[in-house]
Structure formats: structure tokens, C-alpha cells
Amino acid sequence: MTTNTRLIELEDRLRKLDDACDYPAKERFLQWYGPELRDLRDTDATENPTQYKTFCCTHCGSTNVGRDAFAHWNPILGDDELLTVYDDTTCLDCDRECSTYERTLSVRELEALQK
Ligand SMILES: [Zn+2]
């Protein structure tokens, strides 16, 4: 099994757990396969370099993380204007406050985001 095939297999299994919203099973999956998945993603990103970075939840590895921010209404723009982004981060998948680690998006992930 090639690195690429294994990465696709693990990503598919992770996506199915996400689709089923089975977060306990996802957490168990990431405890077991997380280090291998991280290595495969790093290898994939190295073999398919992009300039795009993402941030991942340290609990579950998800890139679906959000940061606290402060915005106010700008009457000239007629819209809310982002003033500050704070350090506090929340994972929207495992629903916990988290730290993040940075990694490069693979070409496959980038293509999925652009759909
Ligand atoms: Zn998480």
C-alpha cells in the first residue's frame, strides 16, 4: 500500500466518523491512528507543497477551529468590521477549547475546500 493510498483510506475513515458525528469514535480513532495520519499528511504536504497553511485542534486534529474575536458595526461599510482576533480557540468538531498546531494543507485538502 502506497503512502498516498493509506492517507486516502485513513482520511475516508475519519470523514465517515465526522459525517456520523460520532465524536467518541473519532477521538478513539485519532488516539490510535492520529500519529500515522499526521505523518502521512506531512509527507503528502511535502510531496505536494502549497503555500496554504491551516491550524489543527490538538485534541482531535480537526481543522474546523475558530478563534474569539471582536467586531463592531462600521456605518460607512454598512457591515461589521473585524477589529481584533484573540488567542482563545475552540474546536467546532470536538466542541472544546483547544490549542492548535500549524501544518500545510495538502493539494487534496485544498481542492476539497475550493469545491
Ligand atoms: Zn477538536
Ligand 1 center from residue 72 Cα (angstroms): 28
CA 60/CA 115 separation, integer angstroms: 24
**Cα 97 to averaged position of ligand 1 atoms, centre (Å):** 8
User: Does residue 6 register a pLDDT over 80?
Assistant: yes
Rounded distance between C-alpha atoms, residue 92 and residue 109, angstroms: 18
3-19 vs 23-47: helix crossing angle, rounded to 10: 150
pTM: 0.53
Q: What's the 83 CA to ligand 1 centre distance in angstroms?
A: 26
pLDDT digits (tens, 9 = 90+) for 67-112: 999 999 999 889 999 999 998 999 999 999 999 988 888 777 777 8
pLDDT number for residue 104 = 82
Give 93 Cα–ligand 1 centroid separation in angstroms.
5
* pLDDT at site 3: 64
Percent of the chain with pLDDT over 90: 34
Distance 95 CA to ligand 1 centre (A): 7
